[in-house]
Structure 1
Amino acid sequence: MADQADQAGPVVGTPYGAVRGRYEDGIAVFRGIPYAAPPFGPRRFRPPVPPEPWEGVRDAAAFGPTSPKPPYSEAFARILSDPVVPGDDCLNLNVWTPEPGPGARLPVMVWIHGGALTRGSSAVPVYDGRAFARDGVVMVSVNYRLGVEGYGLFPDAPANPGLRDQFAALEWVRDSITAFGGDPDRVTVFGQSAGAISIGALLAAPRTAGLIHRAVLQSGPPEAADRDKVRRMVRRMAARLKIPATAEAFAAVDRDLLLRTQAEVSKLSSPVLGGPAFGIVVDGDLVPRDPLEALTEGGAAPDADLLLGWTSEEYRLWLVPGGLLERINRLGPVAVAGAMARCHCGPEIPRGYRALSPDVATAEIVGQMVTDHLLRIPLHRLADARAASSYLYEFAWPSNVPGLGACHALELGFVFDTGDVPESARLAGEGAPRELADAMHAAWVRFAVDGDPGWPAWDASHPVRVFGADGPPVERGPRDRELALWDAESVNPLTPAEPRPAPPLRPGPSTRRTAPLSAVRRFRRSGGAGRP
């Protein structure tokens, strides 16, 4: 229906009715298109259902409502943008296309945002899709349910409604994207943090066969959350609200009160030291088994090309804004014991990290150790299992904002080529390098077009494309020494040229008397916990 475009903007048909977008810098943009009905009233905590068809042409000029979510703390709100658009019709998506109409058959990229499954939306300005459309890709970004609405675990409701929303959005792409100029047989799903974790689960889900052809996992591995940790979040909320821990009881609670309660309970968890948290769980239906096992051992999504990576200092986003970095350094051995509990490891692991980096502070040891355990090891494992079709990268450019370094989420403005928007500068600072955005964005486009981002596929030499460092563009095994510490077969990760012995991490009196789990609790009581 693109030929029906008039001066107000292009008109395209969807299975539920026509939508009118806008031309912006020569790109056709459609915002706030519903892919499912509002998930409230009798549909609250239930799987998504199709939207009601509409008559005439629906205006698609503005972003649709965002899912209910608590605000970031003041420290994180200074560097992370998270717009709120009020309204119930929050299961919506946006499309940027250079050529609306069924004849183009361009590659498609579907963006799933991060935010710990509790925050974020497709309306974040950094996620603007015009640069992808400028370079010949139809880009789609998706809203989905968050927090207890999307990932609460109840005895009287199906699990993972937020992930089911994402699945419904992918079905919408399959059924609708041709009319916007896209090719439903060339769909790349890309996401960061919780978005990447979501993609891992979607890739592993048998029901998504044929919906995903390539995938980009940025700073998030395929994983399933411990069901008991998710239940504990729900139970703690129920205890504060003085209601049963059931979907029926939660559905009767005022939405704002539910968000305030969720925010209070979430203070007991930390990305570094764990604790109860919302997450995707094995549900026997959409997620029949652990996603990492399904992808590495079960043959799930065998033909999907993968682009996998991380930032050099992921942990700095979690530790710097709220002053947690300084508290970890102050607590020293107690924080190390907490990290050992988080990683389920003995003291030989932090000792090995100290031997490799004898001059860094305790917080960096803890941060890199937890990052490797939670992120880099599973992504290496995934690449090892699918070497011929996997490409790995590391983002190493340090932010111009003091203390943030090459932190979690910093790469996003470079991937989207949106470094000129003020929200990107919050995290990157002023003067981010233009050539780095050119290189990174072009690699993502190339991957969507033909599955090759421009450097060697994973093999026994472990090639990693490093963006923003001073060394060669491709390094071989840049994290191998650290990751070898986790291998029971590896006795000494140091090379012959570096024969330093591993100095002991001398615990203070408190850790001699206290188990690591108690150290975690003491660390949280000290003010070291809390999600952004």
Structure 2
Amino acid sequence: MTSLIRNADINRRRLLATGAAAGVLAMPMAACAADAPSEAVEVQIAEGRLRGARTGGVDAYKGVPYGASVSGMNRFKPARPVAPWTGVFDATRLGTPSLQDPTTVYGKNEPAPGEGCLVLNVWTPAGGGKGRPVMVYSHGGGYTTGSGGSTAQDGSMLAREHDVVVVATNHRLGVLGYLYLGELGGADYAGSGNQGLSDIVLALKWVQRNIEAFGGDPANVTIFGESGGGAKTSCLYAMPSVAPLFSKAIIQSGPVVRITTPDVAAQTTRMFLEQLEIAPADWRKVLDVPAPQILAAQKALNAKVKSDSGGWRGIQSLTPGTYGPILDGDLLPHHPFDPTAPASAADKPLMIGWLDNEAAFFAWTGKDVEAFRLDEAGLKARLSGRFGDKAPALIDAYRSDRPGATPSDIYLAAASYYAMGAGSVLAAERKAAQGRAPAYVYNIAYRSNRRMDGTDIELGAMHASDIPLVFNTVASPDTLAGSRADRFAAARNVSAMWANFARTGRPSAPGQPAWPPYDPKTRSTMVLDVACTVVPDRFGAERRAWAKVDPAA
């Protein structure tokens, strides 16, 4: 899956970076108790005392600093732990998101993005307790946008209903998180291409040090994330030095099989410096460039580097001019799932999956109305343009496996599997082959009734509509999960599966069938919906068809 799984969300990242999807994800997505009266609460952690807010039976601490300054001479270097403070730190408001356009973060009363972004949020059931499972979330938005403060990802409902502690981090993104200076800066900048990930590692160390104060169990930590957050989770799962900091992982629509190499990252660095009119020999000048100019240069380079993925290929492009994790002899010495699943996580259970209609999101945010109205000629033209003379056989396989499917149904299903499904299946296969800890594969089939703007087209089980289901933030009819009355039942199932996996390593939900681990013979897949079902080798015919189109599939 080398060329296939360039790993999962480049278009979403580009669209969000340009603000194209801002109106979509910025809509209200608050949990049901968000407007309840609050009272002040305090907790003592290793660095000092925090003041949070208790609302609806959940204590929330927001904007908690976990890292020291990463600006000026500290740019592109590993973050250090935040220094202890005196007095009481006010943790009742969200902290600063990583540097990006302000239209691509979606928190309520969230500060303007900037460099002082090493903060996290904690939600925990009120009233004491200890030994709770801990769920540490990495937000989506590729490697360039988003924050842990999004209202769609508010951890209150997960904490309240499932007795877990939820943590969400902000961390460096884009140039500040992934600009590789090892070639120019030498040993002092050897890890510079992965600082966005190293920030999350620092937050996981904070969790180990402090989570007991919130009732959490530092020996039972699950890392999870969606889209770009799934990509980050894929990488964290593969880091040998991070293995002691977590026990399980969930990768949502973000399988990363391979990552960028230092030589490609070095080309990106030179392209970025050229955008700033800085000669490679004078690279240190980038340490003094004001943050707004850094962002402007990043956006200008993004505009020059055109992706041809069309929502088909994963979260990270391996071409110069894009930002994301790189192979690093220290932090990330191997590709996450190539040629095998990571040995350092062999004993750690993994959940991985995608949604039935992922590609609808990218067509929606890309204003590609025609994707939903294709005729036979249009379908053949789109697939032939990408897969040449192998397209007819692929279309025949989908039509045989999906009687009655329209040309658009086939196009969107193929795009969804190729972008997200194939990498998820490959990762699960390689995880299962280790025989040490289970892999669980899911598809989310719940169909949102959100419509494409100005049309009657329902978007269905599209990319990112799992977020409100996982966090059970579906009370508002404006979430990506839509307004159907049965969304509450679907959210109860999905959130319970996630929380119980975090608790025991085995996903389950009341009244739903037992979820068997994935293996290469049965390929059991849990289809998550209002009523969940286990289906053996759900997309087997299509999987085999893709193997002929792209042997890596």
TM-score by length of 1: 0.81
Q: Which amino acid aligns with 1:310?
A: W
- Post-superposition CA distance 1:216-235 (Å, at most 9, x none): 11001133333355445444
Q: 2:100: which partner in 1?
A: 69
Structure 1 residues 194 and 295, CA, compared in 2 at 3 Å: closer, same or farther? farther
| Residue 498 of structure 2 is aligned to residue 444 of structure 1 | yes
Query: In 2, distance between residues paired with 1:280 and 1:59?
Result: 33
Q: Is the 8 A contact 1:224 1:281 kept in 2?
A: no
2:68 pairs with one of 11, 15, 37: 37
1:89, distance to aligned residue in structure 2 (A): 2.8
> Residues 471-496 of structure 1, C-alpha deviation per residue, up to 9 Å, x if partnerless?
x62211111111112335999x9xxx
Residue 322, structure 1, aligned to residue 322, structure 2: no
SS at 2:193 equivalent: coil
**Pairs within 5 Å for 1:521-532:** none
How far is the alpha carbon of 1:272 from its aligned partner? 3.3
Distance across 2 between alignment mates of 1:243 and 1:365: 48
Give the C-alpha shift of residue 426 in structure 1. Answer: 4.5
Residue in structure 2 matched with residue 14 of structure 1 by the alignment: 45
Of residues 60-69 and 273-282 in structure 1, the stretch that sits farther from structure 2 once superposed is 273-282
* Aligned mate of 1:136, from 157, 160, 163: 163
Inter-partner Cα distance in structure 2 for 1:350 and 1:18: 64
Which residue in 2 is equivalent to 1:313?
357
| Larger displacement relative to structure 2 (86-95 or 442-451) | 86-95
- Name the counterpart of 1:272: 312
Aligned residue runs from structure 1 range 90-489, under 5 A: 90-99=117-126, 104-134=130-160, 135-154=162-181, 155=183, 156=185, 157=189, 158-227=192-261, 230-244=265-279, 248-267=284-303, 268-269=306-307, 270=309, 271-272=311-312, 276-293=321-338, 296=341, 298-324=342-368, 326=370, 335-336=382-383, 339-340=386-387, 347-348=389-390, 351-357=393-399, 367-387=412-432, 389-402=438-451, 403=457, 404-421=459-476, 425-431=478-484, 433-454=487-508, 455-459=515-519, 460-468=521-529, 473-487=533-547
* 2:34 counterpart residue number: none
| Alpha-carbon distance in 2 for matches of 1:327, 1:431 | 24
The 1:338–1:41 alpha-carbon spacing in structure 2 relative to 1, beyond 3 Å, is farther
| Counterpart-to-counterpart distance in 1, 2:498 and 2:441 | 12
Contact 1:31/1:61 (8 A) holds in 2 = yes
Identity %: 33
Please state whether the residue corresponding to 2:460 is helix, strand or coil: coil
SS at structure 1 position matched to 2:89: strand
The structure-2 alpha-carbon separation of the partners of 1:449 and 1:426, relative to structure 1 and needing over 3 Å to count, comes to: closer
Amino acid of the residue matched to residue 275 of structure 2? R
Equivalent residue, structure 2, for 1:530: none
Partners of 1:426 and 1:191 lie apart in 2 by 18
The answer (yes or no) to whether the contact 1:68–1:145 under 8 Å persists in 2 is yes
Q: Distance in 2 between matches of 1:239 and 1:284?
A: 27
> Matched residue of 2:546: which SS?
coil
Cα RMSD of the aligned pairs, angstroms, is 3.0
Counterpart Cα distance in 2 of 1:233 and 1:325 = 33
Please tell me whether the aligned partners of residues 440 and 525 of structure 2 are also in contact (alpha carbons under 8 angstroms): yes
**Distance of 2:180 and 2:382 partners within structure 1:** 30
TM-aligned CA deviation for residue 166 of structure 1:
0.6
Supply the distance in 2 between the matched residues of 1:293 and 1:453 (Cα, whole angstroms): 26
Tell me the equivalent position of 1:54: 85
Instruction: Say if 1:390 and 1:458, in contact at 8 Å, map to a contact too.
Output: yes
1:132 Cα offset (Å): 1.7
Residue 394 of structure 2 aligns to a residue in which SS?
helix
Q: Alpha-carbon deviation of 1:12? A: 1.7
Matched, 1:89 2:116: yes
CA distance in 2, matches of 1:431, 1:421: 11
Say whether the 8 Å CA contact 1:414–1:441 is kept in structure 2: yes
Q: Following TM superposition, by how much is the alpha carbon of 1:195 offset from its aligned partner in structure 2, in angstroms?
A: 0.9
- The correspondence for 2:56, drawn from 25, 29, 32, is 25
Report SS of the residue matched to 1:49: coil
Deviations 1:180-202 (A, max 9, x none): 11000111111011111111111
CA distance in 1, matches of 2:72, 2:94: 22
Label 1:335 to 1:477 Cα distance change in 2 as closer, same or farther (>3 A). Answer: same
Q: Give the SS at the match of 1:256.
A: helix
Residue aligned with 2:199, SS: helix
Q: Any idea what SS the aligned residue of 1:435 has?
A: helix
Work out whether residues 133 and 502 of structure 2, in 8 Å CA contact, stay in contact via their aligned partners in 1: yes
Deviations, residues 294-317 of structure 1 (Å, cap 9, x unaligned): 752x52212111111100111111
2:71/2:115 contact within 8 Å kept: yes
Structure with the larger RCO, 1 or 2 (CA within 8 Å, 6+ apart): 2
Task: Give the superposition deviation at 1:256.
Answer: 1.7
For 1:363 and 1:37, the matched residues in 2 are separated by: 50
Distance 1:363 1:150 in 2: 38
- Distance (whole Å) between structure 2 residues aligned to residue 366 and residue 313 of structure 1: 10
Residue type at the aligned position of 1:30: Y
In structure 2, how many angstroms separate the alpha carbons of the residues matched to 1:71 and 1:426?
20
CA drift of 1:140 comes to 0.6
Conserved in 2, the CA contact under 8 Å of 1:214 and 1:304?
Answer: yes
**Residue 283 of structure 1: how far off its partner (Å):** 1.2
TM-score (norm 2): 0.78
**Runs of 5+ in structure 2 lacking a partner?**
1-37, 452-456, 509-514
How far, CA to CA, are the matches of 1:456 and 1:355 in structure 2?
A: 27
| Count of residues in correspondence between the two structures | 470
Question: Aligned AA for 1:210?
Answer: P
- Is there any run of 5+ residues in structure 1 with no aligned partner, and where? 1-6, 341-345, 494-532
* Separation (CA, whole Å) in 1 of partners of 2:240 and 2:250: 19
What pairs up with 1:497-508 in 2 under 5 angstroms? none
Query: Deviation at 1:368?
Result: 4.0
